[in-house]
Amino acid sequence: MHILIAIASLGGFALMAGLLLSLAQKKFRVEGDPMVEKIDAVLPQTQCGQCGYPGCKPYAEAVARGEADINHCVPGGERTMHQLADLMGVEPKPLEEEPTAPMVAFIREDECIGCTLCIKACPVDAIVGAPKQYHTVIADYCTGCTLCIEPCPVDCIDMLLKPELIEHWAWPLPETERARIGRERKENHARAA
Amino acid sequence: MPALLKRLGQALGWMPAGFFGGIEVPDRKLTANEPIRDCPVPDVLILPMKQHIGEQCHPCVHIGDHVLKGQKIAATEGYVAAPVHAPVAGKVVKIEEHRIAHPSGLGLPCIFIEPDGSDKEHRYDPLPDWNTRDPAELRERVRECGIVGLGGAVFPTFIKLVRDQHHPIKTLILNGIECEPYLTTDHRLMLEHADEIVRGLSILRYMVSATECVIAIEDNKQDAVEVMRQAIVRAALSGVRVLAMPTRYPQGSEKQLIESITGKQVPAGKLPVHIGVLCQNVATARAVYHAVEHGRPLTERIVTVSGEAMPRPGNLRIPFGTPVRFVLAQCGLEDIGDGVHVLHGGPMMGERLRSVDVPVVKATNGLLALYEGQIRGLNTEEQPCIHCGHCGEVCPIRLVPNLLADHCRNDAFERAEAYQLFDCIECGCCSYVCPSSIPLVHYFRYGKGQLAQIRRAEAFAEESRRRSEARERRLAREREAKQARRRARKASQSAKAEGGET
Ligand code: SF4
Ligand code: SF4
Ligand code: SF4
Ligand code: SF4
C-alpha cells in the first residue's frame, strides 16, 4: 500500500514538473539560436569569406554547431579569437593568418565601364552607380573585403590603405623593459596554449 | 586640533574646502616678473584647421586670396567647433597638410598666410551696450569669434554659456589657479589686464545670470590676488569674491577647483552645470571681453616661454600660427642641442615636441626647453609595483592607478574601464609620486586609445551588419518578386493554352 502511495505522489510530482517545464519552454522560447547571435556579435562583419564561409553569419553558425574552429576569422585577429574561445569554452588557438592593415576599395572612375558587377559583389552595399555610369565606393562603408576586385572586367578597382586619421591615433604601450617582458610573456603563453 | 578647526572652518564656509589627493610640486615660476612682450610676426603663419576639441573646420578662403586681420578663414557647420581667424593681414599662399603639436607627429590641413605688413583689420560690431542685449546674441558673438577655453582644454566656450531652466547657474568661477610649474601666463595677465578680465567676468555673469562669482587664485600669486581685488573695487562689482587658495597641484583642473571652492563634487559623467557651476579661465574671460566690447576675434594668446635651457625666458603675446622654432629664437634658443627637449604645455600635462616646426595654436599655454636630466621618463627604468599605495593617495579622482595600469598593460581593457579608466584626467600625480617610476599615465593613455579603437571597430561592425542584413533582405525580396512574376506568367500561359483548346 505504502509503496503505491509513494509511486503515485512522486509520479504526480514528476507529471506536474514535466507539464510546467514544457509550458515554460513554449512561453519563453528564444527565436533563433542564441549562441549564433552571440558569436555573430563579436565577429568584425567584414563579410570577406576568408574564414571559408560566405559571410560572418554562416561562420557563426558553423562555429556554434562545432563544425568550424575558432581561429579562422582573419580580420578579427587575436581579440576575436579569444572572444570566441571564451564563448565556446575552448582553449585559445593561434591564428593561421595575421590580419592585414585596414584597407578600403577605390574605383578608378575614368576606367570604369559601368557594368554594375562590383555592386552585385559588395556585401554591404558600399558601391553606388548605375548601368553605364561611373561607379564609386563610399569609403565610410567599405569593409575592405576585396570581393569587388575579382568581378571587375576591366580591373579598375584598387585596394588602398585606409588613411590614418589624427583623431583615431592611439598611444602605443610605453617602451619600457617591463612592458616588453609582460608582452613577451603573454605571447609565449598564447603560443603554448 | 588644527585639523578639526580646519574642518569647522570649511563646514562654515570660511575656508576653501580643498580637494582630495593632489601633490605639491616645485613651482619654478621663472617668468613671474617678466612683463608680457610682443612676439614679432614671422614670414609665414601656419593655421591648423582644428585648434579646439570637436569637429575640424574647412577653409573658407582660397589660395591667393587677400585676408584682413581678424577675418574668418575657416569654419564648419558642426556644433562643437570654433572658427579660425587670420591673425595678420596678408595673402593665403598655401593650403596643405602640416605637422602640428600632437604626440603622433601627424599633421592636419593648414592655411599658410604671408603677412603683408599692413594692419588692416576686420572687426565685428562692438557691443558696448551688451547688458541690454539678448544673451543668445552675445553667445553667437562668442562662437563667431572662435573663443575656446584658454587654460589648455580648448573646449568651445559658447557651449557652456547657456541659461538652462533645469540647471540654473549659481556660481561663476574664474580660474586663475595656474597650478602647472613654470607657467605664468594667467598670472601676468591678471597683473597687467585685471580690468579687462573683470569686464569679461561681468559679461559672462550677465550671460548666465549667475548670482555669485569667485575669482580663484593660488596663494603663491599674492600680488595677483591684490590686483584683482583692487580691480573689483574699481569696477564697483558686488557679489564677487577673490579667493586665495592653498597651492596644490592639480587645483586648476575644473572639477578639482569646483570641489575646492564649493565642497561639491561633480558626479562622474556629469558636467559642472549639473551642479550649478560655470568655470572659465581668466584668459578666456578677457577674450570674451574683447569679442563683445571690441568685436575682436581670438587671434593671439599669451604663452610662457621658459625652462632651464631657455636663455631668455619670458611671457610673449604670440599670434596663432607662429612657428615654435621662430618663438624659441626670440627667446635666444636658436638651435636645439642634443640634451635639450622642448615641451608643449606645462611639465605635468604637456607633450614633448618631436619637432619644433609646428605652429603655436589656441592650446599652447607654454613652451618649455628642459635639459634631458630634468625629464623623468628619460632617466628612470620602470620597476615592479611595490603596492605602496602612494598613487591612490594622490589621485584627485580617487582611482586606483596601480591596478588600472596593470589592466592596461595586460590588455584587460574592459576591466580597466570598469575601474573608471575614462574618469582619469591624466594629471600625472600618480606617475609623479610612484617610487617605482612606473609611467602610469602613459599606460592609461594606451588603454584609453585601445578602448576607443575597439569601440570604433564595434560601431563599424554594427553598421556593416545592418547594411549586410538590409542587402540580404533586399535580395530575398527581389528573388520573391521574380518567382511571383514567373508564376504569374506560367498561370496566364496555361490559362491561354486552355482557352485555345476550347
Ligand atoms: S573571415 Fe571573419 S570577417 Fe570575414 S566573413 Fe569570415 S567571420 Fe566574417
Ligand atoms: S567596396 Fe569592395 S572591398 Fe569595399 S566592402 Fe564592397 S566589395 Fe568589399
Ligand atoms: S605608487 Fe607606484 S609602486 Fe606604489 S602602488 Fe602605485 S604604482 Fe605601485
Ligand atoms: S593621472 Fe589619472 S590616475 Fe593618475 S592621479 Fe591623475 S587622475 Fe588619478
Whether the CB of A47 sits within 6 Å of ligand 2? no
Pairing of strands B314-319, B36-38: parallel
Residue A9 lies in a domain: no
CATH number, domain of B311, equals 3.10.20.600
A179 and B382: CB-CB below 8 Å? yes
Q: Does A15 reside within a domain? A: no
What's the one-letter identity of residue B34?
E
> What cell numbers appear for A55 in the block?
559571410
Q: Are residues B75 and B208 in the same domain?
A: yes
pLDDT confidence of residue B201? 96
Contact residues, chain B, for A170 at CB < 8 Å: 446, 448-450, 452-453
Q: Is residue B49 part of a domain?
A: yes
Residues from chain B that touch A166, judged by Cβ atoms under 8 A, are 100, 102, 104, 106-108
A76 and A110 part of one domain: no
Co-location of B283 and B318 in the same domain:
no
Of all atoms in ligand 4, which is nearest to the CA of residue B440?
A: 4
pLDDT for residue B17: 65
Distance of CA B336 to the CA centre of its chain: 28
Separation in Å, CA B383 to CA B408, B409, B434, B492:
16, 14, 10, 85
Domain end, chosen from B362, B377, B392, is at B377
Alpha carbon of B57 to ligand 1 centroid (Å): 37
Q: Domain count of chain B?
A: 3
Q: What pLDDT was estimated at residue A101?
A: 84
pLDDT at position A178 over 90:
no
Q: B296 and B173 in one domain?
A: yes
pTM above threshold 0.90: no
Domain carrying residue A53: 34-88
Is B369 found in the same domain as B405?
Answer: no
pLDDT at residue B1, rounded to an integer: 43
Tell me: do A109 and A146 sit in the same domain.
yes
Q: Provide ipTM, 2 decimals.
A: 0.79
Q: Is residue A130 part of a domain?
A: yes
Ligand 2 midpoint to CA A82 (Å): 26
Domain-embedded: residue A112 = yes
Let me know if residue B479 belongs to a domain.
no
**How many angstroms separate the CA atoms of A15 and B366, rounded?**
80
**Which of the residues A124, A138, A188 would you substitute to probe the B interface, choosing the one with the greatest number of B C-beta atoms within 10 Å?**
A124
Within this chain, do residues A109 and A83 fall inside the same structural domain, yes or no? no
One pLDDT digit (tens) per residue for chain B, 502 residues? 455 565 566 565 556 568 888 999 998 999 999 999 999 999 999 999 999 999 999 999 999 999 999 999 999 989 999 999 999 999 999 999 999 999 888 889 999 999 998 888 999 999 999 999 999 999 999 999 999 999 888 999 999 998 888 889 999 999 999 999 999 999 999 999 999 999 999 999 999 999 999 999 999 999 999 999 999 999 999 899 999 999 999 999 999 999 999 888 999 888 999 999 999 999 999 999 999 999 999 999 999 999 999 999 999 999 999 999 999 999 999 888 888 999 999 999 999 998 999 999 999 999 999 999 898 888 888 899 999 999 999 999 999 999 999 999 988 898 999 999 999 999 999 999 999 999 999 999 999 999 999 999 999 999 999 999 999 999 999 999 999 999 999 988 888 777 655 5
Residues 6+ apart with CB under 8 A from B350: B180, B343, B344, B366, B368
CA atoms within 13 A on the CB side of B495: 6
- Which of A126, A141, A164 faces B106 most closely, judged by CB atoms? A164
Structural domain includes residue B95: yes
Q: Are residues B103 and B128 in the same domain?
A: yes
Q: If we measure between CA atoms, which residue out of B282, B222, B262 comes closest to residue B19?
A: B262
Among B267, B300, B333, where does a domain finish? Answer: B300
| Residue with cell string 520573391 | B480
- Nearest bound ligand to the CA of residue B442: 4
Domain presence at residue B484: no
Asked whether residue B185 is domain-assigned, the answer is yes
Domain-embedded: residue A14: no
B428 and B348 belong to one structural domain? no
Q: Which CATH number covers residue B22?
A: 3.40.50.11540
Does some domain include residue A63? yes
B38 and B170 in one domain? yes
Report if residue B469 sits inside a domain.
Answer: no
Q: Does A101 touch chain B (CB under 8 A)?
A: no
What is the domain-level CATH number for residue A118?
3.30.70.20
Instruction: Tell me the one-letter amino acid at A181.
Output: I
Cβ of residue A44 closer than 8 Å to a chain B Cβ = yes
Q: Tell whether A164 is within 8 A of chain B (Cβ).
A: yes
User: Looking at the domain assignment, is residue B290 inside a domain?
Assistant: yes
Q: Which residues, including other chains, have CB under 8 Å from residue B100's CB and lie 6 or more apart?
A: A166, B48, B106, B107, B108, B110, B358, B359, B361
Q: B428: distance to nearest CA of chain A, Å?
A: 15
CA dist., res. B399 & res. B214, Å (int): 29
Domain CATH code at residue A40:
1.10.15.40
B467, B469, B472, B474, best to mutate vs chain A, most A CBs in 10 Å = B467
Q: Are residues A77 and A49 part of one domain?
A: yes
Same domain as A110, residue A70: no
Residues B342/B369, Cβ–Cβ less than 8 Å = yes
Classify residue A172: in a domain, yes or no. Answer: no
The number of CA neighbours under 13 Å toward the Cβ of A162 is 18
Question: B421-438 burial string, b = 16+ CB within 10 Å, else e?
Answer: beebbbbbbbbbbbebeb
Q: What is the pLDDT of residues A87-146, one digit of tens each?
A: 888 888 888 888 888 889 999 989 999 999 999 999 999 999 898 889 999 999 999 999
Residues with CB under 6 Å of ligand 1 are A 43-44, 46-51, 53, 55-56, 59, 73-76
pLDDT band at A162 (very low <50, low <70, confident <90, very high): confident
Contacts of B365 (CB under 8 A, 6+ apart): B150, B151, B152, B180, B183, B185, B301, B303, B304, B345, B346
**Residues B162, B237 within the same domain:** yes
Q: Starting from the CA of residue A147, give the closest ligand.
A: 2
Instruction: Tell which of B300, B327, B342 closes a domain.
Output: B300
| B401 alpha carbon – ligand 3 mean position (Å) | 8
Chain B neighbors of A168, CB-CB under 8 A: 452-453, 456
Query: Are the CB atoms for A129 and A114 separated by under 8 Å?
Result: yes
> The domain containing residue B426 runs over which residues?
380-449
Record: contact A47-B464, CB cut-off 8 A: yes
| Closest Cα to atom 8 of ligand 2 | A145
Number of structural domains (chain A) is: 2
Please report residues of A whose CB lies closer than 8 A to that of B461: 43-45
Residue B57: DSSP 8-state: P
User: Cβ atoms within 10 A of the Cβ of A7, count?
Assistant: 10
Domain check: are B250 and B312 in the same one?
no
Test B467 with A126 for CB contact under 8 angstroms. yes
| Choice from A40, A42, A48, A142 to test ligand 1 binding pocket (greatest atom count within 8 A of CB) | A48
Backbone Cα Rg of chain A: 26
* Residue A163 touches chain B, beta carbons under 8 Å: no
Does B295 share its domain with B305?
no
A126 CB near a chain B CB, below 8 Å?
A: yes
* Chain B residues within 8 angstroms (CB to CB) of chain A: 100, 102-104, 106-108, 381-384, 409-411, 438-439, 442-443, 445-446, 448-450, 452-454, 456-457, 460-465, 467-468, 470-471
> B401 and B262 in one domain?
no
- What is the C-alpha to C-alpha distance for residues B398 and B480, in angstroms, rounded to an integer? 61
pLDDT given for residue B258 in this prediction: 93
The answer to whether the Cβ–Cβ distance between B449 and A169 falls below 8 Å is: yes
Residue B463 is predicted with a pLDDT of 92
Q: Does B95 share its domain with B228?
A: yes
Give a yes or no: residue B473 inside a domain. no
